[in-house]
Amino acid sequence: MRDEESRYEAVRSRDARFDGEFFFAVETTGIYCRPSCPAVTPKRRNVRFFATAAAAQGSGFRACRRCRPDATPGSADWNVRADAVGRAMRLIGDGVVDREGVAGLAARLGYSARQVQRQLTAELGAGPVALARAQRAHTARVLLQTTGLPVTEIAFASGFASVRQFNDTIRAVYAQTPTQLRAAAPRQGRTAAPGAGIPLRLAHRGPYHAATVFDLLEREAVAGVEELSGPPGGRTYRRTLRLPYGSGIVAVDERAGTAGRACAVHPGGWLDARLHLTDPRDLTTAVQRLRRLFDLDADPYAVDERLGADPRLAPLVAARPGLRAPGAADPEEYAVRALVGRTEAERLVRAHGKTLDAPCGGLTHLFPEPAALAEVPGPPGTLATALADGTVRLDPGADRDDAQEALLALPGLDGRTVAAIRARALGDPDVAPPGADVPDTWRPWRTYALHHLRAAEEPHVLDQRRQPPRPPAPHR
């Protein structure tokens, strides 16, 4: 939606489909909002539009306290786009600017820092520092309102270089001091300490067919690293995470549908989660990896509109509105798993995975990092070596075509395995495996179309490694 009059109509109708796709600010109040904000619609002459929250903040507007625009799902454009701006936004979301600076971001993209600054500012109205700053502010708000961490620790855990910078940013974005922002949060939602876990609401736009996502995760779960418990419709997915500064354990709830498992669709809102981190600096990265795993930044309206127009897919889309194409919590881990299958992946975890200092239920290990698997014989070791030395890059900013070419050059990886890696590890929404009956009219959502066909159990499009079913987990 590029036309400003069309955007204003979306604001007038409080259309949640566009939350995160753009933001609007009101010059008479000095605040910016998401399109679905429930406040009284401002007059058109007082409204300005921005592509990102960072651009609105950079123009001096503060976040609305009613609609929390900083908590919207991310733009689905960054899933689809393979250009430098799309790759940059995925890297910034993963926390690369906080860890490596703008120079590190530019190096990963293969551009100069000045070129990256120019491209992002021209298209989004904000450069990488401003975009990262907006993300830090959101991370800080989550920590202030959900944990008992001291304010000084939160400043550095959020990625700020100093307490003064942290205080200035929070006042500029939220028009409150950190202490006031914490005091405004409901006390029952705040945990006493980081060890108790950080409660999260992982926002998504539109319908979300949770059952198909949790079914897939249950079929693929690698013992020691992942587990699911609870009855269908109310399952909880738990897994370990290997993160830049430490490790984590996350639990994400499926939530029951209104009419049983077949209708386990969220009409819009969020998935409830709880995150345990050994180092709170990993919060931003952990959240972004969960968002990719559960495909929470997708635009189900655009996907369903395109695929629902096809006679073959129309009944499948009607049966599963908001079906998602799950990604991967750890791209390198997924690549190894796609190659070896679940049974061998479990053996690799037992033999090479790092044991958690404090195992939690069935979660006992982190999946082994590529360097730990480099000595494994055969194609798995070759793939691990290529991942470890950078011959194959699967990070959020990787060029998808380059990654596919590098993967196909390795022994033991056929076209269908590489297609699965491209769809899941690299989050490409438009992948068609070799030999699959996938017409071009399904572009740019062929990955989603295949998930519909798999959910309907059309045998010729099933995963290249159909996993045998697990016995049901005991209810907890």
Question: 1 by DSSP, 3-state: which?
Answer: coil
Q: Which helix (DSSP H) or strand (DSSP E) does residue 115 occupy?
A: helix 113-124
Catalytic annotation present for 33: yes
Domain that includes residue 85, residue range: 77-146+149-189
Q: Are residues 22 and 99 in the same domain?
A: no
Q: Are residues 82 and 65 in the same domain?
A: no
Structure tokens at 362: 């069935």
Q: Are residues 369 and 437 in the same domain?
A: yes
Q: Is residue 467 part of a domain?
A: no
Nearest to 401 by CA among 424, 381, 384, 418: 418
Q: Is residue 317 part of a domain?
A: yes
Catalytic, out of 168, 401, 414, 437: 437
Give me the tens of pLDDT residue by residue for the chain, a chain 476 residues long.
568 999 999 999 999 889 999 999 999 999 999 999 999 999 999 999 999 999 999 999 999 999 999 888 888 888 778 899 999 999 999 999 999 999 999 999 999 999 999 999 999 999 999 999 999 999 999 999 988 889 999 999 999 999 999 999 999 999 999 999 999 887 655 554 545 689 998 999 899 999 999 999 999 999 999 999 999 999 999 999 999 999 999 999 997 443 334 345 555 689 999 999 999 999 999 999 999 999 999 999 999 999 999 999 999 999 999 999 999 999 999 999 999 999 999 999 999 999 999 999 999 999 999 999 999 999 999 999 999 999 999 999 999 999 999 999 999 999 999 999 999 999 999 999 998 889 999 999 999 999 999 999 864 554 444 455 555 555 44
Q: Are residues 295 and 404 in the same domain?
A: yes
Q: What CATH number should be reported for the domain holding residue 357?
A: 3.30.310.20
Catalytic annotation present for 304: no
User: How many separate domains does the chain show?
Assistant: 3
Residue that is last in its domain, among 71, 105, 126: 71
Q: Are residues 378 and 243 in the same domain?
A: yes
Q: Is residue 98 part of a domain?
A: yes
Q: Are residues 47 and 153 in the same domain?
A: no
Q: Is residue 274 part of a domain?
A: yes
Q: Is residue 472 part of a domain?
A: no
Q: Are 176 and 184 in contact (CB under 8 A)?
A: yes
Residue that is last in its domain, among 39, 71, 103: 71
Catalytic, out of 19, 33, 295, 430: 33
Residue that is last in its domain, among 71, 86, 112: 71
Q: Are residues 116 and 238 in the same domain?
A: no
Q: Is residue 246 part of a domain?
A: yes
Nearest to 173 by CA among 227, 235, 222, 130: 130
